[in-house]
């Protein structure tokens, strides 16, 4: 979006790397909280349709609705604020990339706010309806009929409200998450950046797969959270009947086991559907950790179902939160690889922006002379090997042969380590990062030419002279 593009501040590469870690945290929090909210509300609305008066389904309706809606501050803090943070980070990292990721996320945020507001209204209406029904049953025959009629009228309004707000809340939330997952999937698929449109993003196979995976994971998290909260965390406040307790434990245990069995399949399919240009070793590590955590959580739930040991559910709960977080981390890792080249472009833009800013302030950027800094090195490093240190001409070849000579030299000069027992360890010279880089560049420039000269065959030189 143009508005957010104008708010973007050029950042150096190390700040952009830090933003990637914040994005990892934001996606993890958002996926876990929204997954619990979405899955619990789907089950709550489903059982509301089956409930008739006060029975096990009406109790399930209320208990599912309460899982992620204790306070509105949780919804707006863990949901909306985290969502906004994710949008601003994507806007920063995708600055000047001509794809609609940020626009799709902004549309998703608007729908998400409608959805979360409706779902919290649904939860409140649900509680009001239960309260008025209880009041009515308690005062029948004790107060005038007119009072009973007024209470029944208010109860009917609350009942209508919970029906409409629950349904519309899920509609808004579903469309919002579809946009969100489509945008995140697009960001990690660099080959699809060119020519992408809202239709291709929403209807792509990867978006469909990731949304289905999120839905299954939401049901798994909801069922595990239900058991953890009601029968472990708040066990002392639980006064449910034995019949309802047995039914709720059995239902949620089986939902958890079935969905946890499906989850590893999605993790593995994700490997084959993620573009090769977006895969890194850490992508495989997070996939493996996610699969292992899912199997471990499933083992704990099975132990609960078999031995009725409710203490096992705390392990299942935290293990599955970890597994669910892996979904967000994995998408972030894929995005980091896909966006790596653009981060370097943004880093160069930052350098230009910094130089222009300093020039506008009448301050010239200080340039460090690597040759001048190198004079300190010459106290020990001579033209030939000496008892105190080797000559640089004899050791530079090993640095020049590495994939990134500058990084290797900077790493050693900044933090010298013993290499050859023939010489005493080099002491830390106390150079600034800029001085270290300058002297590293000087050494590379000075000795890379000599390396090329020494590698030129003598007959080729003779031929050139002729």
Identify the residue with better confidence: 235 or 118.
118
Handedness of CA 315, 317, 323, 328 (dihedral sign): negative
Give me the pLDDT at residue 459, please: 45
What would the mean pLDDT of 382-394 be, rounded to a whole number?
85
Question: Tell me: the pLDDT tens digits for 280-326?
Answer: 888 899 999 999 999 999 999 988 888 888 888 999 999 999 998 88
Of the candidates 290, 315, 348, which is a domain's last residue?
A: 348
For the chain, the straight-line distance linking the first and the last C-alpha, in angstroms and rounded, comes to 63
Specify if 116 maps to a domain.
yes
Identify the residue with better confidence: 298 or 126.
298
Give me the pLDDT at residue 352, please: 78
pLDDT at 364 over 70: no
Same domain membership, residue 293 and residue 149:
yes
Specify if 432 maps to a domain.
yes
Question: Tell me: the pLDDT tens digits for 399-426?
Answer: 888 888 888 888 888 888 888 888 888 8
Same domain membership, residue 403 and residue 321:
no
**Is residue 66 helix, strand or coil?**
coil
Q: How many CB atoms lie within 10 A of CB 449?
A: 10
Dist. CA 310–CA 226, nearest whole Å: 12
Provide the number of structural domains found in the chain: 2
Position 111 confidence tier, pLDDT thresholds 50, 70, 90? very high
Residue 353's Cα: distance from chain center in Å? 29
Specify if 364 maps to a domain.
no
Specify if 360 maps to a domain.
no
Same domain membership, residue 454 and residue 332:
no
Specify if 179 maps to a domain.
yes
Same domain membership, residue 331 and residue 225:
yes
Give me the pLDDT at residue 134, please: 56
Which residues constitute the domain of residue 207?
A: 2-348
Specify if 60 maps to a domain.
yes
Same domain membership, residue 306 and residue 168:
yes
Give me the pLDDT at residue 154, please: 57
pLDDT at 149 over 70: no
Identify the residue with better confidence: 177 or 100.
177
- Most confidently predicted of 89-98, 105-114, 281-290, 342-351: 105-114
Specify if 353 maps to a domain.
no
pLDDT at 133 over 60: no
Same domain membership, residue 316 and residue 279:
yes
Q: Which long-range contacts (CB under 8 A, 24 or more apart) does 442-448 make?
A: 442/370, 442/371, 442/373, 442/374, 443/370, 443/374, 443/392, 443/396, 443/399, 443/409, 444/399, 444/400, 444/405, 444/406, 444/409, 445/370, 447/392, 447/393, 447/396, 447/397, 447/400, 448/400, 448/405
Same domain membership, residue 407 and residue 335:
no
Same domain membership, residue 167 and residue 35:
yes
Same domain membership, residue 441 and residue 338:
no
Task: List helix spans (H) across 274-369.
Answer: 281-307, 313-338, 340-360
Of the candidates 315, 348, 381, which is a domain's last residue?
A: 348
Specify if 356 maps to a domain.
no
CATH code, domain with 429:
1.10.760.10
Q: Which of 187, 213, 337 lies closest to 270 in space, CA to CA?
A: 213
Of the candidates 348, 382, 399, which is a domain's last residue?
A: 348
Dist. CA 30–CA 82, nearest whole Å: 6
Same domain membership, residue 374 and residue 330:
no
Dist. CA 436–CA 409, nearest whole Å: 9
Same domain membership, residue 416 and residue 324:
no
Nearby residues of 221 by Cβ (< 8 Å), 6 or more positions away: 32, 35, 36, 39, 320, 321, 324
Of 119-133, 310-324, 429-443, give the lowest mean pLDDT range. 119-133
Give me the pLDDT at residue 295, please: 92
Q: Element (H or E) spanning 175, and its range?
A: helix 145-187
What pTM did the predictor assign? 0.74
Dist. CA 378–CA 462, nearest whole Å: 35
Structure tokens at 216: 């299954």
Same domain membership, residue 244 and residue 124:
yes
Give me the pLDDT at residue 99, please: 84
């Amino acid at each position: 979006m143009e508005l957010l593009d104008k708010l973007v501040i050029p950042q150096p590469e190390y700040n952009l790397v830090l933003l990637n870690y914040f994005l990892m945290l934001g996606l993890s929090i958002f996926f876990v909280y929204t997954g619990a909210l979405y899955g619990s509300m789907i089950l709550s609305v489903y059982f509301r349709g089956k409930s008739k008066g006060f029975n096990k389904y009406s109790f399930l309706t209320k208990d599912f609705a309460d899982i992620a809606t204790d306070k509105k501050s949780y919804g707006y803090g863990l949901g909306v604020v985290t969502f906004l943070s994710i949008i601003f980070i994507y806007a920063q990292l995708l600055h000047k990339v001509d794809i609609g990721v940020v626009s799709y996320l902004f549309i998703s945020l608007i729908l998400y706010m409608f959805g979360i507001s409706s779902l919290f209204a649904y939860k409140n209406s649900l509680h009001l309806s239960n309260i008025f029904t209880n009041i009515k049953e308690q005062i029948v025959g004790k107060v005038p009929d007119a009072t009973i009629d007024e209470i029944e009228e208010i109860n009917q309004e609350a009942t209508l409200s919970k029906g409409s707000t629950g349904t519309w809340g899920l509609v808004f939330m579903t469309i919002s998450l579809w946009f969100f997952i489509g945008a995140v999937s697009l960001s990690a698929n660099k080959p699809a950046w060119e020519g992408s449109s809202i239709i291709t993003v929403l209807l792509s196979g990867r978006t469909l797969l990731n949304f289905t995976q999120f839905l299954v994971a939401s049901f798994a998290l909801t069922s595990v959270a239900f058991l953890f909260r009601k029968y472990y965390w708040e066990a002392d406040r639980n006064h449910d009947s034995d019949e309802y307790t047995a039914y709720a434990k059995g239902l949620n245990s089986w939902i958890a086991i079935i969905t946890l069995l499906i989850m590893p399949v999605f993790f593995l399919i994700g490997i084959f559907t993620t573009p090769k240009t977006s895969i890194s070793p850490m992508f495989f590590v997070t996939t493996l950790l996610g699969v292992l955590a899912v199997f471990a959580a499933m083992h704990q739930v099975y132990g609960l179902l078999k031995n009725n040991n409710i203490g096992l559910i705390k392990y299942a709960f935290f293990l599955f939160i970890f597994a669910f977080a892996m979904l967000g981390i994995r998408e972030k890792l894929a995005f980091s690889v896909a966006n790596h080249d653009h981060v370097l472009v943004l880093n160069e833009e930052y350098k230009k922006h910094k130089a222009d800013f300093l020039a506008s302030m009448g301050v010239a950027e200080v340039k460090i002379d690597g040759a001048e800094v190198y004079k300190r090195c010459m106290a020990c490093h001579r033209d030939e090997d000496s008892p105190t240190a080797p000559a640089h001409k004899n050791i530079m070849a090993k640095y020049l042969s590495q994939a990134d000579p500058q990084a290797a030299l900077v790493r050693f000069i900044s933090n010298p380590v013993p290499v050859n027992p023939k010489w005493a360890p080099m002491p830390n010279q106390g150079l600034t990062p800029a001085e270290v880089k300058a002297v590293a560049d000087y050494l590379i420039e000075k000795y890379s030419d000599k390396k090329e000269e020494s590698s030129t065959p003598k007959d080729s030189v003779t031929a050139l002279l002729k």
